[in-house]
């Protein structure tokens, strides 16, 4: 009997789960909500693009959640012994880089900088670097188009170098004080394994490949000359990043005596190389070639893997195609939507239709579920937080079309859900257009777990069965799978996933008549999507409202 | 000392005002809310296009409001004597035709039909005849393009023949039972003056010219052959309409003994030819060549007059250019927006942001007034109830664009107000593009009276001073002016308006920096307007959101 720990750092909290490596049973779970800022995020009321986090919250989360999960596991099974834990896996949000000094200490944890938001972790959804993202894109297009070819053709404001360059430009004192910048996913394993210099931090392939243009084909990270053209200091930073990155079947190191004591674990157990939450969520959902795993939460991450034996073309608009970023022997392909649950939350929390006690998710879902596809005459674009795939443009915004004097809140709520499903379908289609066949869709995350209407709409709109991952905490489970591989409980990912992962009995199959209506609506969504999202899109848009009304009448007849 | 009565039939109620003809002083006012249906409108929950009214409410309204206004006038001035009232003027909504039998009795008032909504008055905002409107437009384009040239190029579902043809098609028993159809504005004067056969009803130039393609140039109403091609029975109806129509400087007849007794008025006083509320509202606002009068309520009607000596071109998208439809010696030009206050009401009543006690007009106005132009990054189209001018398309719908995860209700509220102001500007521009110079804008109606923020936004967006008509009941006042002319208190409209009408001291002047921002936003509005509203519009739309964000950033910087 052996167990592993999965540590899953989300946007607002960190979760620990202790898993039985033989069958995936989750013995104990604990959650720690970050204390700093608003729901764990340091905001700036004058700039909505700002989103930072306090690394001290990350550290406190390790202790609180591992202790909590062990306590719960002991309650669940009196024979449970935390010394039987054979490894730790870690996943985090990303790209969430933080500046560290030459000891590897985050600047945010030094007295001199702790009040400065720029010294903190730059959370994935910080978009302050959008101008720098454009600049990086433009330079790469001109000088190294290959850098962009593997990350969808456009470098995002959410990514590593955009954030660092923005800091360099707008808060040079912080940039200068930093020895280097480390992804959250790399920093936690480094801490647990006692890495004593930033040069020794083992950076993960996942973050480097998807967010920092790392590829062995051109010697790892972008070369110093390229970075120098953006800013000479950025060029100098290049040497602190090293030339090697690691997949999750590797260990970052071994748990130090000090941490082992603090956490009541066995010293020396391996800590797996970190990865992004979505990537390990995909592992926890049993990802394999042909399976699309959708992690649906405030935003959505879509992951696909393809055997390295496959000849894969570059796929425009897909955020990343990276060797070994999900499973060790596969290409990992990442796509996603910048806001999904966040759009529904916006409507409920900001608009509060009918008042906050009336316009709840539960109440709106109940009413929206009674509507037929097309009935409201509404169509929305899911761009309230930009479009990550396939337009790769954080500056796009939302759109709602088709309102009359009778439009009701539940109709808008449903239109927003449908918009995210149309966005999901656009991504699936893009994969398949470039030869990556999707034969199965497995969903995980809070929305997949909790909202059957959303899942049914996704099935009806995509025309595909929506399966749901068995575990309610797939990212943490994926980290525990990684821990099981580095901890020796399983020899490889195939056997580890077979033993530890699974699918729920309940799945959502497309209803043909709904799918037929949604096919028409999708054509209009795509028309709006292209007209408003593609640069230099041809064509006119005058048919959209009429077609919508025809569909509406048909639905009502 | 002489007085006149203005009777103003609105969408939900009828109002009577008693006015001193020497100075426009309003001595007494009374309102009667129609009793039938929902806020006076018979609706159909399965078809939002249906909007009917009970003519019995119209009759009851005469007695209740005139008695009420006389009582109030007596309270205001103990020497007031209702026998000093020298004439009655009437305005109504329109096109609001009702089927009558050969005695002129509305079918809705006969036992056999009173339960049938199709036998009632078809309120202006009934859109059931949209398919018939297209059919009439198509046929006229082919056979009599001149019919359309004076009414904006497209026949509307709100108008006379669309409604009658739709009744003929969908409720033939009602059509067959009717001797003819009469506009609400013609029926009330006919009733008060004891007109004993429908053939003797004096139909007003205003309704006939603006809504029924009447023009002396082609012998009055469309010819019977044309109407026969739509339906042979419609062709037969033609002869019941006659060939003559009348301007408001004419009397429909004289008040009968019976009505005089019932109303405590002098028998034999003249009742002016009726007209639409907006047209007499324009009169009450002191309309003259160069003045645009905007009647801003749930919807908006825009009126302009031009001397008949002017050579006027046809103006595409302007609902009507009709000789003598407003002032006797001028062309009356009518434009409008299908929903203005109704859009704001939709947001407050249907969406209820924050709850119905929180998201009130007052609260949203207070917050929205603090926003700077462009600050929200939002842009809306004012088409929740279609577009009356200049696209003439009832099947267009609303659009809201630019939402983020932080968009607030007051931002949307303001964007909706701005959208209606952009729509207003599009109309002004259209007039001027065709040589009808607008040198003054006078507003009236509830919103102009009550909401200073709306008026300021209109000034800022149009770049023109917004004046407000002195009377709070300009339509009723306009009817009283018409009564004063037919009653002999004034020799003509010039002197009557000079004596009885005026402008408020408070006006709204454009703030140059706001206007500068709104000029940029208007360009985007126009781009969306054309892309989504014009058939076969060329071009792409990908710049819109980016330009909006640039403007937003600029506004926030």
Q: What's the pLDDT at B544? A: 55
Among A346, A385, A531, the residue with its CB nearest the CB of B541 is: A531
Among B397, B406, B536, the residue with its CB nearest the CB of A350 is: B406
**Would you place residue B498 in the very low, low, confident or very high pLDDT band (cuts 50, 70, 90)?**
very high
What burial letters (b/e) apply to A183-211, b meaning 16+ CB within 10 Å? Answer: bbbbbbbbbbbebeebeebbbbbbbbbbb
Among B406, B534, B548, the residue with its CB nearest the CB of A48 is: B406
Q: What's the pLDDT at A61? A: 98
Domain membership of residue B311 (yes or no) is yes
Q: How confident is the model over A369-381, as a mean pLDDT? A: 92
Measured CA to CA, the distance from residue B246 to residue B205 in angstroms comes to 5
Domain membership of residue A153 (yes or no) is yes
Give the closest-approach CA distance of B343 to chain A in angstroms.
Answer: 6
Long-range pairs of A111-114 with CB within 8 A, sequence gap ≥ 24: A112/A177, A113/A174, A113/A177
Determine what percent of chain A falls in helix, strand and coil, rounding each to the nearest 5.
45, 20, 40
Task: Please list every residue in chain B whose beta carbon sits closer than 8 Å to the beta carbon of residue A360.
Answer: none
Domain membership of residue A476 (yes or no) is no
Measured CA to CA, the distance from residue A150 to residue A315 in angstroms comes to 8
Could you tell me the two tokens for B81? 């004597």
> In this model, does residue B552 exceed pLDDT 80?
no
Among B354, B401, B541, the residue with its CB nearest the CB of A352 is: B354
Around Cβ A463, how many Cβ atoms within 10 Å? 17
Task: Please list every residue in chain A whose beta carbon sits closer than 8 Å to the beta carbon of residue B416.
Answer: none
Same-domain check for residues B349 and B432 = yes
Same-domain check for residues B215 and B174 = yes
Q: What's the pLDDT at B527? A: 82
Task: Please list every residue in chain B whose beta carbon sits closer than 8 Å to the beta carbon of residue A412.
Answer: 351
Whether residues B546 and A400 touch (CB distance < 8 A) is answered with: no
Measured CA to CA, the distance from residue B323 to residue B334 in angstroms comes to 11
- For B114-131, the pLDDT digits (tens) are 999 999 999 999 999 999
Task: Please list every residue in chain B whose beta carbon sits closer than 8 Å to the beta carbon of residue A343.
Answer: 405
Same-domain check for residues A456 and A356 = yes
> In this model, does residue A222 exceed pLDDT 60?
yes
Q: Are strands B180-183 and B52-53 parallel, antiparallel or unpaired?
A: unpaired
A553 vs A351, higher pLDDT: A351
Give the 3-state secondary structure of A180-197: EEEEHHHHHHHHHCCCCC
**Would you place residue B37 in the very low, low, confident or very high pLDDT band (cuts 50, 70, 90)?**
very high
Give the closest-approach CA distance of B398 to chain A in angstroms.
Answer: 5
Whether residues A536 and B542 touch (CB distance < 8 A) is answered with: yes
Nearest partner of A496 among A511, A507, A481, A510, judged by Cα: A481
Burial status of residue A421 (CB atoms within 10 A of its CB: 0-12, 13-18, 19 or more): buried
Same-domain check for residues A34 and A160 = yes
State how far the alpha carbon of A202 is from the alpha carbons of A105, A213, A297, A429, in Å: 15, 17, 29, 36
Whether residues A399 and B401 touch (CB distance < 8 A) is answered with: yes
Whether residues B403 and A401 touch (CB distance < 8 A) is answered with: no
Domain membership of residue A501 (yes or no) is no
Q: What's the pLDDT at A48? A: 86
Contacts of residue B270, defined as CB under 8 A and 6 or more positions apart, other chains included, come to B87, B88, B251, B252, B253, B254, B255, B483, B486, B487
Could you tell me the two tokens for A223? 């070369």
Give the closest-approach CA distance of A405 to chain B in angstroms.
Answer: 5
Whether residues B542 and A548 touch (CB distance < 8 A) is answered with: no
Among B346, B402, B540, the residue with its CB nearest the CB of A405 is: B346
Q: How confident is the model over A193-207, as a mean pLDDT? A: 96
Whether residues B398 and A404 touch (CB distance < 8 A) is answered with: yes
Cα nearest neighbour of B350 on chain A: A408
Q: What's the pLDDT at B150? A: 78
Domain that holds residue A7: 3-275
Domain membership of residue A282 (yes or no) is no
Whether residues A346 and B407 touch (CB distance < 8 A) is answered with: yes
Same-domain check for residues B224 and B351 = no
Q: What's the pLDDT at A547? A: 58
**Chain A interface mutation, best of B405, B535, B537, B543, highest count of A Cβ atoms under 10 Å:** B405
Measured CA to CA, the distance from residue A305 to residue A431 in angstroms comes to 11
**Would you place residue A538 in the very low, low, confident or very high pLDDT band (cuts 50, 70, 90)?**
low
**Chain B interface mutation, best of A48, A297, A398, A403, highest count of B Cβ atoms under 10 Å:** A403
Mean pLDDT (chain B) is 93
**Would you place residue A326 in the very low, low, confident or very high pLDDT band (cuts 50, 70, 90)?**
very high
pLDDT above 90 covers a percentage of chain B that reads: 82
Q: What is the pTM of this model?
A: 0.86
Whether residues A405 and B353 touch (CB distance < 8 A) is answered with: no
Same-domain check for residues B415 and B271 = no
DSSP string computed for B419-472: HHHHHHHHHHHHHHHTT----EEEEESHHHHH-HHHHHHHHHHHTS-EEEBS-S
Q: How confident is the model over A67-81, as a mean pLDDT? A: 96
Q: What's the pLDDT at B528? A: 87
Q: How confident is the model over A207-229, as a mean pLDDT? A: 96
**Would you place residue A390 in the very low, low, confident or very high pLDDT band (cuts 50, 70, 90)?**
confident
Q: What's the pLDDT at A542? A: 44
Whether residues A540 and B544 touch (CB distance < 8 A) is answered with: no
Task: Please list every residue in chain A whose beta carbon sits closer than 8 Å to the beta carbon of residue B48.
Answer: 404-406
Mean pLDDT (chain A) is 93
Q: What's the pLDDT at A550? A: 67
> In this model, does residue B265 exceed pLDDT 80?
yes
> In this model, does residue A460 exceed pLDDT 80?
yes
Q: With contact defined as beta carbons under 8 Å apart, do B545 and B402 qualify?
A: yes
Could you tell me the two tokens for B504? 């408020």
> In this model, does residue B317 exceed pLDDT 90?
no
> In this model, does residue B441 exceed pLDDT 70?
yes
Domain membership of residue A492 (yes or no) is no
> In this model, does residue B142 exceed pLDDT 50?
yes
Measured CA to CA, the distance from residue A342 to residue A346 in angstroms comes to 6
Measured CA to CA, the distance from residue B192 to residue B483 in angstroms comes to 13
Q: What's the pLDDT at B556? A: 59
**Would you place residue B554 in the very low, low, confident or very high pLDDT band (cuts 50, 70, 90)?**
low
Whether residues A404 and B48 touch (CB distance < 8 A) is answered with: yes
Same-domain check for residues B331 and B240 = no
Task: Please list every residue in chain A whose beta carbon sits closer than 8 Å to the beta carbon of residue B345.
Answer: 405
Among B400, B409, B538, the residue with its CB nearest the CB of A400 is: B400
Q: What's the pLDDT at A549? A: 47
Domain boundary among A249, A275, A301: A275
Q: What is the ipTM of this complex?
A: 0.85
Nearest partner of B211 among B284, B275, B156, B142, judged by Cα: B156
Around Cβ B546, how many Cβ atoms within 10 Å? 14
Domain membership of residue A405 (yes or no) is yes
Around Cβ A535, how many Cβ atoms within 10 Å? 10
**Would you place residue B546 in the very low, low, confident or very high pLDDT band (cuts 50, 70, 90)?**
very low
Nearest partner of B436 among B309, B278, B289, B302, judged by Cα: B289
Measured CA to CA, the distance from residue B206 to residue B293 in angstroms comes to 16
Give the closest-approach CA distance of B223 to chain A in angstroms.
Answer: 32
Whether residues B385 and A405 touch (CB distance < 8 A) is answered with: yes
> In this model, does residue A418 exceed pLDDT 50?
yes
**Would you place residue A552 in the very low, low, confident or very high pLDDT band (cuts 50, 70, 90)?**
low
Task: Please list every residue in chain A whose beta carbon sits closer than 8 Å to the beta carbon of residue B539.
Answer: 540
Q: What's the pLDDT at A312? A: 86
Q: What's the pLDDT at A152? A: 72
Whether residues B405 and A343 touch (CB distance < 8 A) is answered with: yes
Q: If you count them, how many residues does chain A have? A: 557
- For B273-297, the pLDDT digits (tens) are 999 999 999 999 999 999 999 999 8
Around Cβ B75, how many Cβ atoms within 10 Å? 11
Domain boundary among A212, A246, A275: A275
Same-domain check for residues B350 and B249 = no
**Torsion angle of the four alpha carbons B365, B371, B374, B377, in this order, in degrees rounded to the nearest 10:** -80
Same-domain check for residues A193 and A315 = no
Cα separation of the two ends of chain B: 61
Whether residues B545 and A385 touch (CB distance < 8 A) is answered with: no
Task: Please list every residue in chain A whose beta carbon sits closer than 8 Å to the beta carbon of residue B545.
Answer: 395-397, 532
**Torsion angle of the four alpha carbons A197, A199, A202, A208, in this order, in degrees rounded to the nearest 10:** 130
Same-domain check for residues B270 and B298 = no
**Would you place residue B545 in the very low, low, confident or very high pLDDT band (cuts 50, 70, 90)?**
very low
Q: What's the pLDDT at A151? A: 78
Task: Please list every residue in chain A whose beta carbon sits closer than 8 Å to the beta carbon of residue B548.
Answer: 397
Among B357, B404, B538, the residue with its CB nearest the CB of A397 is: B404
Nearest partner of B508 among B554, B428, B410, B442, judged by Cα: B442
Among A406, A535, A544, the residue with its CB nearest the CB of B532 is: A544
Measured CA to CA, the distance from residue B533 to residue B447 in angstroms comes to 27
Q: What's the pLDDT at B553? A: 65
Same-domain check for residues A316 and A382 = yes
Q: How confident is the model over A109-131, as a mean pLDDT? A: 96
Among A397, A532, A545, the residue with its CB nearest the CB of B403 is: A397
Same-domain check for residues A36 and A180 = yes
Q: With contact defined as beta carbons under 8 Å apart, do B424 and B317 qualify?
A: no
Task: Please list every residue in chain A whose beta carbon sits closer than 8 Å to the beta carbon of residue B44.
Answer: none
Task: Please list every residue in chain A whose beta carbon sits closer than 8 Å to the beta carbon of residue B540.
Answer: 531, 534, 536-539
Q: What's the pLDDT at A96? A: 98
Q: How confident is the model over B460-483, as a mean pLDDT? A: 97
What burial letters (b/e) apply to B497-515, b meaning 16+ CB within 10 Å? Answer: bebbbbbbeeebebeeebb
Cα nearest neighbour of B413 on chain A: A351
Classified as helix, coil or strand, A304 is: strand
> In this model, does residue A26 exceed pLDDT 70?
yes
Residue A201's φ and ψ, nearest 5 degrees, are -65, 130
The total of structural domains in chain A comes to: 2
Task: Please list every residue in chain A whose beta carbon sits closer than 8 Å to the beta carbon of residue B395.
Answer: 545-546, 549
CATH value at residue A545: 3.30.420.40
Domain boundary among B250, B275, B300: B275
Whether residues A545 and B396 touch (CB distance < 8 A) is answered with: yes
Whether residues A402 and B404 touch (CB distance < 8 A) is answered with: no
Domain membership of residue B281 (yes or no) is no
Task: Please list every residue in chain B whose beta carbon sits closer than 8 Å to the beta carbon of residue A402.
Answer: 397-399
Among A46, A358, A537, the residue with its CB nearest the CB of B540 is: A537
């Amino acid at each position: 009997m052996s167990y592993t720990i999965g540590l899953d750092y989300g946007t607002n909290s960190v979760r620990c789960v202790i898993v039985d490596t033989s069958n995936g049973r989750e013995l104990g779970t604990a959650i720690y909500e970050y204390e700093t800022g608003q729901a764990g995020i340091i905001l700036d009321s004058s700039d909505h693009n700002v989103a930072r986090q306090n690394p001290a919250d990350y550290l406190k989360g390790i202790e609180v959640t591992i202790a909590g999960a062990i306590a719960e596991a002991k309650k669940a099974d009196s024979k449970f012994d935390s010394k039987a834990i054979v490894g730790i896996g870690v996943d985090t949000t990303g790209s969430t880089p933080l500046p560290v000094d030459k000891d590897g200490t985050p600047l945010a944890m030094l007295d001199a900088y702790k009040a400065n938001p720029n010294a903190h972790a730059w959370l994935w959804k910080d978009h302050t670097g959008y101008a720098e993202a454009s600049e990086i894109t433009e330079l790469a297009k001109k000088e190294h188009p290959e850098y962009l070819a593997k990350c969808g053709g456009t470098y995002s404001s959410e990514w590593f170098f955009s954030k660092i360059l923005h800091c360099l430009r707008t808060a040079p004192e912080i940039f200068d004080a930093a020895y280097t910048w480390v992804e959250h996913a790399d920093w936690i394993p480094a801490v647990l394994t006692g890495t004593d210099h930033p040069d020794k931090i083992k950076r993960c392939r996942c973050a480097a490949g998807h967010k920092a243009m790392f590829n062995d084909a051109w010697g790892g990270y972008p070369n110093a000359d390229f970075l120098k053209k953006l800013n000479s200091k950025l060029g100098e930073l290049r040497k602190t990043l090293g030339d090697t990155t690691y997949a999750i079947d590797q260990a970052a190191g071994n748990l130090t005596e000090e941490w082992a004591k603090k956490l009541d674990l066995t010293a020396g157990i391996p800590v797996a190389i970190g990865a992004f939450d979505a990537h390990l969520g995909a592992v926890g959902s049993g990802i394999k070639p042909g399976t699309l795993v959708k992690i649906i939460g405030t935003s959505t991450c879509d992951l696909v893997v393809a055997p390295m034996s496959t000849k894969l073309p570059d796929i425009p608009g897909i955020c990343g195609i990276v060797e070994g970023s999900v499973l060790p022997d596969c290409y990992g392909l990442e796509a996603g939507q910048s806001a999904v649950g966040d759009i529904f939350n916006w409507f409920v929390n900001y608009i509060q239709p009918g008042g906050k006690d009336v316009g709840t998710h539960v109440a709106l879902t109940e009413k929206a579920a009674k509507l037929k596809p097309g009935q409201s005459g509404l169509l929305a674009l899911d761009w309230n937080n930009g479009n990550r795939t396939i337009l790769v443009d954080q500056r796009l915004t939302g759109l709602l079309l088709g309102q009359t004097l009778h439009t009701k809140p539940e109709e808008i709520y449903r239109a927003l859900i449908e918009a995210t499903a149309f966005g999901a379908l656009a991504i699936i289609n893009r994969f398949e257009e470039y030869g990556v066949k999707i034969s199965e869709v497995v969903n995980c995350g809070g929305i997949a777990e909790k909202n059957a209407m959303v899942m049914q709409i996704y099935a009806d709109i995509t025309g595909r069965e929506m399966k749901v991952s068995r575990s309610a905490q797939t990212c943490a489970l994926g980290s525990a799978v990684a821990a099981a591989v580095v901890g020796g409980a399983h020899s490889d990912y195939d056997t580890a996933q077979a033993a530890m992962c699974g699918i729920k009995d309940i799945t959502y199959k497309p209803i043909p008549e709904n799918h037929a209506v949604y096919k028409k609506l999708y054509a209009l969504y795509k028309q709006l999507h292209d007209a408003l999202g593609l640069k230099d899109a041809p064509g006119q848009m005058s048919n959209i409202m009429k077609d919508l009304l025809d569909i509406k009448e048909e639905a009502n007849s």
